[in-house]
Every structure is written in C-alpha cells, then in structure tokens.
Structure 1
C-alpha cells in the first residue's frame, strides 16, 4: 500500500515539473517576441476594453455634447412650446391634466428646487446624450463593430432637430429615453424577473409621460413571451409592474374628475382626426352628432388640430369646456361612426399622414406657427397670447423666480441655426432605415434555411433563434411610435424623432453577429 502511494506521488511530481517547464518556456517565448507596439496577451487573458476600442463613438458623443453646449449658450434658459405652460402648471399644482398625463410635470417638479429652466434644459440634453449611449451599448453588446454602432447612435446625438427638441420644454426627450432604456433591458442577455420588473416600470413611466406609450406595453409583452418560448412569468411580471403605476394614476384621475382613464381627451383627438375625411352625407349621423359636422369638403378644411383649439370649431362651440366628459363622449361617438362608415377613407388619411414622416425635405405642417417651434429662432419669441398659456406663464415665473423669456445670444444661436439648415436625418433616409431590417433578416433566414437543408441532405427548418430576432423589438416599437399618432390624432414632426434611435438600433442589431446565442 505504501509503495503504491509513493508511485502515485512521484507521478504527480513529474507532471507538475513538466507543467512548470512548459509554462516557463512559454513566458520566455513571449518575453523574446517583439511587441509591435502592443503588449502581448496570454491565452485566456480578457483585457478590458480601452478608450481606443470606442474611439468612433467617443468622437460622435463629444460632438453631440459640444452641440448641446452651444445651444445652451445661444438660447437661455430654454425654448417654449404651447404645451410647456400646462406642464408647469401641473408641476406646481399637482393634479391630473385632462389632455396630457402628468409624468413630465413630475419631472419638472423634481427639478423645481433649482428654480432654473436652464437646469431643466441641461437635464434634457443629458437625457438626449443618454439615448445615444444606450443605442451604442446595445449595439456593441450584439457584436456590432464600433464604427457601425457609433453610426447607429449618430442621429440621436447629431441631428439638429433632436438637439432643438431637447431644448424645448416638452415631454418627448424624457419619453424617448424611457422607451430606449426599456428596449435595452428587453434585449439584455439574461432575462430575470428583476429585469422584467424594470421594463414594466420604464414603460409605465413612458405611458404617464405620453399616452402613446400604452400600446408599447403589449409590444414588449409579446417580445418577452417570444424570448421565454411561451413561458409567461417574465411577461406577467412586466405587465404587473407596468399596470400598477398606471392604475394608481387612474385612481388619482378618477378621484379628481370622477372619470375612468388617465386623460380625458381621447374622443376629442380622435374626432379631430376623423374631420380630415368625415362626410356626414355618408355617415348619416343622428341629430345629437350632426352638430359636429363640417359642411366643407375635406380638401378645404383646416388641419386636424384646429377642430380642438380653434374657436370656430363646432366642438369648441358646445357648452362647457372642450374636455368635459359629455363633450369627449360625444366626440368619440362621432369619430367611431366616421371610421365605421368610411373605413377606407380613414385608412387613406392615416397613410397620407404617415407618409409625411418620410419626405426628403421638411415642408411646413400643420401650420407655420407650430412648424416654427421646431426651428432655432432668430428673434425672441413673443409671450403667449392664449388665456391658458398666459396663466401658465405666471406659474413659470414662480418656478424660475424671475423672467422666463428666451434670451438669444450670438454668435452661438447663429451657429445652431446654420447647423440646423445643414444637418438632419431626412425622412426618406428614415424610411430606408426602417425597410432594411426586415429585408436583411429575411435574407439571413433564407440563407440559414438553405444551409441547414444542404447539411441534412434535404429540406430542414432553420430556426435562427430568439437572439437573431432581437432587431424586431426596437423595429416594431419604432413603427408603432410613427403609426399611432396619425391613427388617433395627427402627424407632428416632434412625434417622429423618438422613433429614430429605435429604428437605427434595429438596423444595427440585424447587421451584427449572432445575437445572444444562449438566450433562455
């Protein structure tokens, strides 16, 4: 027995000495090998990424930061939009608004101790930079080359209209970063219940910032079901996490107005949409709805928004404020009848509005006043003239504890105006970005199927795997963000911009390497 143990010990000693000789020889070879300007790497060495690995993105990110700094120097403290004043009122007097959910107002209230709309603009610019960072990190995690991932983030970081939108006191930048962050979590390598909970909370915050976020909950739930191969745990956790804040807000809304919902203007906005095509001679509405008809041919009617805000609108002329429960219900009934009576006209109206997202140039729409809010101005904009906005301006002065008018400082403002004339993502390019992911994914699937069939000597089903379909989530989300506003209200240029980072991310993911091969 002792002799056997001694033999085993000698064998182990000889093996250890042999391993030590091989290792020292390897070290000697590495020491004698010329470095060629780079430190040698041992097998299995996982060197952390250096700044050089991200040089393309750091260049784009730095340029985006400079643009935002110049904007803040040129337009102080921020730029105003008609909706801005309502948001400020809700921030200082917290209660649900009938037209817009209060998520962005709570963002303003969070920053209210600073008493500075310049601080709000700075926070929004940082959120805009964060959108670009999220796009880049998600693409790199998918195996996309550094230059390609940086290119995918460039529209969010360098488009002049994105920068201008961040400087406006509106909800779109906050909404965009919430949705992009939810997409980032949804395509992460590991999908745990904590990740699903985070996705749900982000989507709830997005919904309470802009109601267009509500349909996205269904989109993300379908994706989580697909990722989990039909198992409902992740999707169920996400839906619960999204539902609870929204339902809580709904309780607050009901306690304030004795109405169900999170806003009280859905019927009014849908009515304004249908007035682009509604023909009462075809609809044959009952008398209570007939008062909302417009005898003018659709080609001679004003933009859809005028049916909500113009004093000449038949809806506005009804007794009480426009967004009472009775008026909203009446408008919703009219819109429903119009869609049922003229479904093809409704579809044509949605498509024609959607097509405005994909023009090469940027024609004035819906009118010169609204269009002008999306341009860096050359002169200080006048103070608000409508009564609700004048009240909001008083609240804004309390928020700022001083004057709120925009001060234009040259030459910085002039630099941004010139930049805006030259650098933007044309709508036609956005259309190409949206068309490429499904086309490339289809081509990859056919090649994989052909290869599987050749390997098996016959027909075979090729399943690219859940990871290779990760492009579909940001792609469907981008399409939904583009389609929903023209379907329920009207097209607006600022509604297009939050979809751009998601569309670029989808294209980057579909062109990357096999994505998360071991997704559970």
Structure 2
C-alpha cells in the first residue's frame, strides 16, 4: 500500500504534467452533472420505450437488437431505476475520454495538449452529453469501440497478443448485438492485423502467413460465434435465421427517397409501395423507415401479405435500377456529418431532437414518458429550467465538435496512414493511425446507408479525434539515431518501455537490423503498430520508395 506522502507526490505530478486534460475532464464531469440534475431520472426518446419494453423479454425480432436491454438495462434496473442508468452512462462517457487520452499517450503522443485534443470532443460535446442522459444504447457502443482500440493498440512494444485479438473479436460480436451497423467494422480491424508490424511485406512467404492467419482467426472466430449464436437465437423466435427484421425498413427507406416511380419497372404487387409524393417533394428516410407501422399504408395489400418482403423487394428494385441515385444519396448523407454547424436539410431527422431544452423534453410522448418513468424509477420526470437553459445555451453557441474539424482529422489520419512523406513512414504509428479512422469511416458509412442523423455521428466523435492526433504526431515526429530513439515515444510504449520506429518495408533492411534473423521479423518481434529498430536520421533503406507506403 502506498504511503500518503507518496500518493500526494504522485497526485501533484499528475496535476503538473496533465493539468490541461484534468481541466477538460472536470469540465466534462460538470456538464454531465448538470444534465443528470436537469432532467431526472432520464430522458425518454421514442426508441427508449422499445428498449424498456424488451427488458426481461429479449425478443430479437423487434426494431433493435437486444444487447442494450440484455447487458445494461436488465442488470441495472434490477438494482436501481432510470436515474442509475443515466448516471452510469455519463460515467461511461467520462471513461471513454480518460481511455482515449491514455491511449494517445501510450501510442507516443508526447505533447500533452495534443493528447488532450483526442479526448476533448467526447468529454465536452453537448450532443454527446444529451444522448448519455437518454435511455439509449449509443454510449455503450462507443465504450465497446474504445475497448477494441485498447485491445488492439495498447500492448507496449509488440503486436497485439492473440488473447487480446480474440477478446476484440468477442467485443465486435457484442457490438453487433448492440447495433447492427457494427457488423462490417471487423473489416478495418482485419486490415490492421494484416499490416501491423510490417509482416504483410513478406506475404509471399509461409512464415508471414503463420503470423497473419492466427491473428485473423483469433479475431474472426469469436465474432462469428456471437453472430451465429445471435442468429440462432433469432431463429428460435422467428422461425428463420436472421439478425434483424429491419432490413426491409432500411432498404425501403433508402429506395423510397430516390425512387423514380414513372420509370421504374415494378411488378404490380410492388406498385403500391411507390411513395405518392412527387420525387422532388419526398419525405425523409426516417418517415419511410417507419411507414410499415401505418395501418392505412399496410391496407394497400391483401391481408396476410408479407410487408417486410414487399419493402425488401421494392428497395432492391430501386437499387438495381437506380444505383447511381442511391449511391449519391448515401454519399450526400455521409458528407452531412462533416458540416461545420449542426443544421437540418430537407428530409433529415431534425437536429432539435438532440438539443437540450429548458424543461423536460417529452418528444410528443408525455403521458407515456410519465408512465414509464414511474414504472421503472418510482418517480415522474422533472425539470430544472435554470440548468436546462444553461446547457441549451452552451450547446447552441459552440458546445460541440464542428464536423469540418472531424473531416480534417480523418484526412490527416489517412494521409499519415498511407505514409505520404518520409517522416511519416519513419513514425512507427501508421498502422495505429489507420485503425481508428477506418472504424470511424465504416461506422459512419454504414449509418449513412440507412439515413442521416446527428445521433449516428457519435462514433466519429469518439474515433476521429484520436486518429487525427496520431496522424499529426506521425507528421511531427523526426527520425533520430538508433541510440536516441530507444529513449523516445515513437511507438506504442511509454516510460521506460517504449517501442521503436518501423525500419521500413524492405526485407533486407529488416534482416540487417536484426542481424540476419529473418524469422524474428516475420514472427512479429516488432511492435503492433509498425515498430522495429531505428535507422540513421533522414535515410530510407534501399528500395523503400518503390514499396507500398502502408505498414
């Protein structure tokens, strides 16, 4: 047990060296305390009722997967109310900020102010704080993503161990059970495992594949076990294997917005699915995604018609016959998240849904909100207008991360990951930079394939600042002599256990650095993020310019 004097000295050292992050953290904690006190016990959005209705039931055939109600609501509501859920969601948001800052430092971001920038958006963004106050799954999805980053990037001076990769694969599977958009997120992780440590440069050798294949298998197998298990559980309820019934909603919503019904070749059974609005007056994707619940709309078909199949077939017909229109609509929705201001465009889910209000926001469900609040917390919703007004002013007048800065962070990270300069190629963190930006872009792209909503931009808020900070660090780092780099933060290590920069992509350079031991290089002796032994400053190994810049 540490003596009080030692604890005091360490606390003073922490405050002296990391004071800027501590200021940001305290500000973020203050925002969350204000939100928790302003709208007790929690804000209830339309999706919140679906989650709460599924507590203890865990029916997978609903609009949302069961991860949130199974892993979060069930255990927490067994010991507390909605106020406990919202409180722990705020704690989870703060934990994400701490983890991002610590990971940035671990990956060699030596400037503390720069590392603080990786955590500041998730700690200080008012939209993040507002959604944490809701009974919604979003913050837990962010927690899972940050956990995956730590598992794959956090090991000091080495590639991620197989056990860490396997746990990351398990977390990917759990992420799918929270949000279906997580399903393709394993792709950038697989890419990272292929290039981490530079083993990909020897892809023609069996020794390289002995390193690559176990890592990929360790990631993919746990993911498949969870996904197949969930699909089997779904089949026990629905009678057929699937992961979600929302495929029809998504396809129809995306197709209905752009469908040119005058030129589409459709069978008669799909004709009623064409929206009655003129093409230039179409409603938003969110409206068409939920139109299946409209009895009048459903009555266009004979009783017993499989409406989900109608929606799926209509959406696929539009995608097949108007692929360019659909692709442009998805691209447009993807780019909306990188605007400087949080504004609405025609058809968007209104940004007002994610604004703090002076009083408790009932979202047109006042009676239902009161009923559920009493049922699960024993108290009715309350408001503290002074706090609510202060939060609203903070949010509307700059208390958020501008989208164009997130876009700039993504571009910097991609440029660094691709190694566009000699200095970046010598940084040793290129693979580590590509992982968070890849996860962010795939997540945002998957959400845009459905619809645009500011709510769906939160993974970018979590991942892109870290990616940008790592990219900036890669551009700022300079190659030193090998004796100097042993004492520098150029890899994933910190303190006395610091990784060394990547020697470059050429096999013979790696071999010379290791004294001819090629197997040591292939077996993953360098760091997980492209680490290895240093070379003289300003020099590239022979053949480096002819090789791929990734790794």
Q: Same fold (TM over 0.5)?
A: yes
- 2:151 aligned with 1:174: no
- 2:165 aligned with 1:196: yes
Distance in 2 between residues matched to 1:482 and 1:140, nearest whole Å? 26
Q: Which residue of 2 aligns with 1:432?
A: 408
Superposition pairs for residues 123-134 of structure 1, below 5 Å? 123-134=88-99
Deviations 1:443-498 (A, max 9, x none): x543259xxxxxxxxxxxxx6587432110100111112111121x1101100022
Give the drift of 1:170.
Answer: 0.8
Deviations 1:40-96 (A, max 9, x none): xxxxxxxx9744222221111111111111111111111111000000111132322
Q: 1:95 to 1:140 in 2, by over 3 A?
A: same
Q: 1:320 to 1:218 in 2, by over 3 A?
A: farther
Q: Which residue of 1 aligns with 2:83?
A: 118
Give the 3-state SS of the residue equivalent to 2:136 in structure 1.
coil
Q: 1:266 to 1:358 in 2, by over 3 A?
A: same
Question: For the Cα contact (< 8 Å) 1:226–1:466, is it kept in 2?
Answer: no
**Pick aligned residue for 1:498 from 459, 466, 481:** 459
- 2:71 aligned with 1:71: no
Q: Which residue of 2 aligns with 1:5?
A: none
Superposition pairs for residues 476-491 of structure 1, below 5 Å? 476-487=438-449, 489-491=450-452
Distance in 1 between residues matched to 2:150 and 2:305, nearest whole Å? 39
Q: 1:225 to 1:72 in 2, by over 3 A?
A: same
Q: 1:354 to 1:172 in 2, by over 3 A?
A: same
- 2:230 aligned with 1:244: no
- 2:38 aligned with 1:52: no
**Pick aligned residue for 1:208 from 171, 177, 188:** 177
Superposition pairs for residues 28-427 of structure 1, below 5 Å? 50-106=14-70, 107-144=72-109, 145-189=111-155, 190=158, 191-227=160-196, 229=199, 230=209, 231-310=212-291, 316-317=298-299, 326-364=306-344, 370-382=350-362, 385=365, 390=368, 397-400=374-377, 402-405=378-381, 407-422=382-397, 423-427=399-403
Question: For the Cα contact (< 8 Å) 1:365–1:371, is it kept in 2?
Answer: no
Question: For the Cα contact (< 8 Å) 1:227–1:466, is it kept in 2?
Answer: no
Distance in 2 between residues matched to 1:433 and 1:232, nearest whole Å? 32
Question: For the Cα contact (< 8 Å) 2:272–2:300, is it kept in 1?
Answer: no
Contiguous gaps of at least 5 residues in structure 2: 1-11, 200-208, 478-489, 493-500, 502-525, 529-551
Q: Which residue of 1 aligns with 2:527?
A: 519
Q: Which residue of 2 aligns with 1:24?
A: none
Question: For the Cα contact (< 8 Å) 1:353–1:490, is it kept in 2?
Answer: yes
Distance in 1 between residues matched to 2:446 and 2:349, nearest whole Å? 23
Deviations 1:285-315 (A, max 9, x none): 1112222112433221111121232466986
Question: For the Cα contact (< 8 Å) 1:361–1:427, is it kept in 2?
Answer: yes
Give the drift of 1:341.
Answer: 0.7
Question: For the Cα contact (< 8 Å) 2:249–2:290, is it kept in 1?
Answer: no
Distance in 1 between residues matched to 2:19 and 2:161, nearest whole Å? 32
Distance in 1 between residues matched to 2:373 and 2:228, nearest whole Å? 29
What is the TM-score when the length of structure 2 is the normalising length? 0.76
Q: Which residue of 1 aligns with 2:422?
A: 447
Contiguous gaps of at least 5 residues in structure 1: 1-47, 450-462
Q: 1:265 to 1:136 in 2, by over 3 A?
A: same
Give the drift of 1:178.
Answer: 0.4
Give the drift of 1:333.
Answer: 1.6
Distance in 1 between residues matched to 2:374 and 2:240, nearest whole Å? 32
Give the 3-state SS of the residue equivalent to 2:55 in structure 1.
helix
- 2:457 aligned with 1:471: no
Distance in 2 between residues matched to 1:288 and 1:466, nearest whole Å? 58
Give the drift of 1:155.
Answer: 0.4
Q: Which residue of 2 aligns with 1:455?
A: none
Q: 1:146 to 1:308 in 2, by over 3 A?
A: same
Question: For the Cα contact (< 8 Å) 2:118–2:465, is it kept in 1?
Answer: yes
Q: 1:483 to 1:383 in 2, by over 3 A?
A: closer
Deviations 1:110-159 (A, max 9, x none): 10123311110111001101111121111101111211001111000011
Distance in 1 between residues matched to 2:221 and 2:319, nearest whole Å? 33
Q: 1:329 to 1:219 in 2, by over 3 A?
A: farther
